[in-house]
Amino acid sequence: MTASDSRSAAAWMYKTQRIDMNVAGTVSVKICAADPLTRLGLVSHVRQEPRMTPVDDQSADVIVLTVGNADDQALDTLRQLTFPACAGFLVIVAGSWTVDMHAAIELGVRGVLFRCGFSWASFDEAVYAIARGEGAFSPELQGMLLDQMERTIKDVLAPRGLTACGLTTREIDILRLVANGSDLEDIAEKLRYSERTVKNVLYGLMKRLNLRNRAHAVSYAIRAGVI
């Protein structure tokens, strides 16, 4: 065996071990490509991957969709392909990205690759990341998403007194005290509200967010990272 062969074998073993550590089981991948040659190439590659298998039904863990441009027509295609059990879409874009990132994510997009910088290594990483429940976006698209989130918070949520987690600053203040063990009387005194106001605030947020009780509300705020 040559030194080159040894390096190739070592690289393959490392890749397989890395996949084994990060992905549980085989990832089923559905390829949706209008161009027959593109579809053939993607399906062939998936078949060669040790932890991927191509499927043609709705049991796919990851759906790979190829589009010309990421525009409104591409979003319409995504709406038609949405499968409830799917971990997410990996979209391969030949042209430009012009659609709202929020809209794409709401439709299940969890990763984007551009043809201009496409590689099989990046494809594999994106598929496995999506199968793990993670995202696979370029720094440019991540920046676009953050910009859109910032505008949403500034223009939509802030004027209504809401934060990104869906809670008002007053609700957060009250939940922090509830989490610390304060009763309604203590909370009212510390925040200079009436006990009736504190009760109404807690009741309002639990009803709005469909939370069962105060403990559930505190748990929601902890998961949202605000307390």
Q: Please, are residues 171 and 205 in contact by the beta-carbon 8 Å criterion?
A: yes
CA 41 to each of CA 5, 45, 61, 117, 141: distance values in angstroms, whole numbers, following the listed order? 25, 6, 19, 17, 26
Tens digits of per-residue pLDDT, 131-153?
Answer: 988 888 887 776 666 666 666 55
Write down the pLDDT at residue 186: 92
Out of 17-31, 98-112, 124-138, the most confident range is 124-138
Task: Determine what percent of the chain is predicted with pLDDT higher than 70.
Answer: 76
Write down the pLDDT at residue 23: 54
Write down the pLDDT at residue 227: 79
For residues 151 and 89, the model is more confident at 89
Report d(CA 93, CA 70) in Å as an integer.
6
What's 50's DSSP letter? T
Write down the pLDDT at residue 11: 42
**pLDDT surpasses 60 at 1:** no
Structure token digits, residue 202: 């807690």
Report d(CA 179, CA 165) in Å as an integer.
17
Is the four-CA dihedral 204, 206, 209, 214 of positive or negative sign?
A: positive
Residues 101-130 have a mean pLDDT of 89
Strands 52-54 and 109-114: unpaired
What's 55's DSSP letter? -
Write down the pLDDT at residue 10: 40
Tens digits of per-residue pLDDT, 155-213?
Answer: 555 666 666 667 888 888 999 999 999 999 999 999 989 999 999 999 988 998 889 99
**pLDDT surpasses 70 at 124:** yes
**pLDDT surpasses 90 at 47:** yes
For residues 167 and 30, the model is more confident at 30
Q: Mean pLDDT, the chain, as a whole number?
A: 80
Residues 2-21 have a mean pLDDT of 41
The domains found in the chain, sorted by start residue, are: 23-148 (3.40.50.2300), 157-223 (1.10.10.10)
Residues 49-65 have a mean pLDDT of 87
